[in-house]
Structure 1
Amino acid sequence: MFRIKNYLPKNLYARSLMIIVTPMIILQIVTTYIFFEQHWNILSRRLSGSVAGEIAFVLSQIEQTYPRDPAAIAPMLTDAESATGVTFAFTAHEILPNVEPGIVMEAYGDTLVSALAERLRRPFRLRDAEDDRMIVIEAQTSDGVLRAWVNRKRIFTSTTYVFVLWMVGTSLLLFGIASVFMRNQVRPIRRLAEAAERFGKGQPVGEVKLEGATEVRRAALEFSHMRERITRQLQQRTEMLAGVSHDLRTPLTRLKLSVELLGAHPDQEPMRQDILEMEKMLNAYLAFVKGEGRELSTETDLLPMIDGIFSTLRRGPYQDRQLLLHVDADVGPLLVKPEAMRRCLNNILQNAARHATRIEVSLSRHGGFQTIEIRDNGPGIPAKLRETVFRPFFRVEAARTPRTLVGDEGGVGLGLTIARDIVRGHGGDISLSDNAPQGLVVTIRLPL
Structure 2
Amino acid sequence: MKINAPYVGILKKIMPRTLFGRSLLIVVLPTILLQVLATYIFYERHWNNVARRLAQGVSGEIASVISLTDRFPGVEARESILSIARDQMRLTVSFEEGTEVRIPEDHSDDFGFLEKHMARELQNSLPGRAFTIKTNDRLETVNIRVQLPDHVLSVVVRDKRLFSSTTYIFVMWMVGISITLLAIAVIFLRNQMRPIRQLAEAAEKFGKGQEVEDFKPSGAQEIRLASIAFHEMKNRIHRQITQRTEMLAGVSHDLRTPLTRMKLQLEMLDDKEARDNLLGDVQDMSNMVEGYLAFAKGQEAESERPVNLAELVGEVCENARRQGALISLEGPRSISKKLRPNSIKRCLMNLIENARRYAGEIQVTLSAKEEYILITIDDNGPGIPEEKRQDVFKPFFRMDTSRNSETGGSGLGMTIARDIIHSHGGQIALGESPLGGLRIQLILPW
Identify whether the pair has TM-score above 0.5, normalized to the shorter chain: yes
Among 231, 234, 240, the alignment partner of 1:224 is 231
> Does the CA-based 8 Å contact 1:357-1:378 persist in structure 2?
yes
Among 88, 92, 100, the alignment partner of 1:83 is 88
1:142 maps onto 2:149 in alignment: yes
> Does the CA-based 8 Å contact 1:427-1:447 persist in structure 2?
yes
Structure 1 unaligned regions, length at least 5: 406-410
> What aligned pairs does 1:10-409 form with structure 2 within 5 A after superposition?
10-66=17-73, 69=74, 71-92=76-97, 94-97=99-102, 99=104, 103=108, 105-107=110-112, 109-121=115-127, 122-128=129-135, 133-316=140-323, 319=324, 321-328=325-332, 332-401=335-404, 403=406, 405=408
After TM superposition, the structure 1 stretch with the greater mean CA deviation from structure 2, 160-169 or 290-299, is: 160-169
Secondary structure in 1 matching 2:430: strand
> Does the CA-based 8 Å contact 1:104-1:126 persist in structure 2?
no
Question: What amino acid is aligned across from residue 389 of structure 2 in structure 1?
Answer: R
Could you tell me how far apart the structure 2 residues matched to 1:157 and 1:376 are?
86
Question: What amino acid is aligned across from residue 440 of structure 1 in structure 2?
Answer: L
User: What is the deviation of 1:398?
Assistant: 4.8
Secondary structure in 1 matching 2:273: coil
Could you tell me how far apart the structure 1 residues matched to 2:363 and 2:407 are?
26
**Which residue is 2:419 aligned to?**
421
Secondary structure in 1 matching 2:233: helix
> Does the CA-based 8 Å contact 1:371-1:446 persist in structure 2?
yes
Could you tell me how far apart the structure 1 residues matched to 2:212 and 2:137 are?
77
Alpha-carbon spacing, 1:98–1:175, altered in 2? closer, same or farther (3 Å): closer
Alpha-carbon spacing, 1:109–1:422, altered in 2? closer, same or farther (3 Å): farther
Per-residue Cα deviation, 1:280-312 (whole angstroms, up to 9, x for no partner) = 111112222322211111112222222222222
Alpha-carbon spacing, 1:59–1:99, altered in 2? closer, same or farther (3 Å): farther
Per-residue Cα deviation, 1:45-72 (whole angstroms, up to 9, x for no partner) = 2222221121122212222333xx5532
**Which residue is 2:3 aligned to?**
none
Instruction: Give the TM-score taking structure 1 as reference length.
Output: 0.90
Alpha-carbon spacing, 1:290–1:109, altered in 2? closer, same or farther (3 Å): farther
Alpha-carbon spacing, 1:277–1:3, altered in 2? closer, same or farther (3 Å): farther
Secondary structure in 1 matching 2:425: coil
> Does the CA-based 8 Å contact 1:430-1:442 persist in structure 2?
yes
> Does the CA-based 8 Å contact 1:328-1:363 persist in structure 2?
yes
User: What is the deviation of 1:187?
Assistant: 0.9
After TM superposition, the structure 1 stretch with the greater mean CA deviation from structure 2, 144-153 or 387-396, is: 387-396
User: What is the deviation of 1:132?
Assistant: 6.6
Alpha-carbon spacing, 1:269–1:166, altered in 2? closer, same or farther (3 Å): same
> Does the CA-based 8 Å contact 2:141-2:157 persist in structure 1?
yes
Question: What amino acid is aligned across from residue 76 of structure 2 in structure 1?
Answer: A
Question: What amino acid is aligned across from residue 71 of structure 1 in structure 2?
Answer: E
Secondary structure in 1 matching 2:272: coil
> Does the CA-based 8 Å contact 1:360-1:374 persist in structure 2?
yes
Question: What amino acid is aligned across from residue 122 of structure 2 in structure 1?
Answer: L
Instruction: Give the TM-score taking structure 2 as reference length.
Output: 0.91
Could you tell me how far apart the structure 2 residues matched to 1:337 and 1:381 are?
29
Question: Which structure 1 residue ranges, 4+ long, deviate > 4 Å from structure 2?
Answer: 98-102, 128-132
Alpha-carbon spacing, 1:248–1:437, altered in 2? closer, same or farther (3 Å): closer
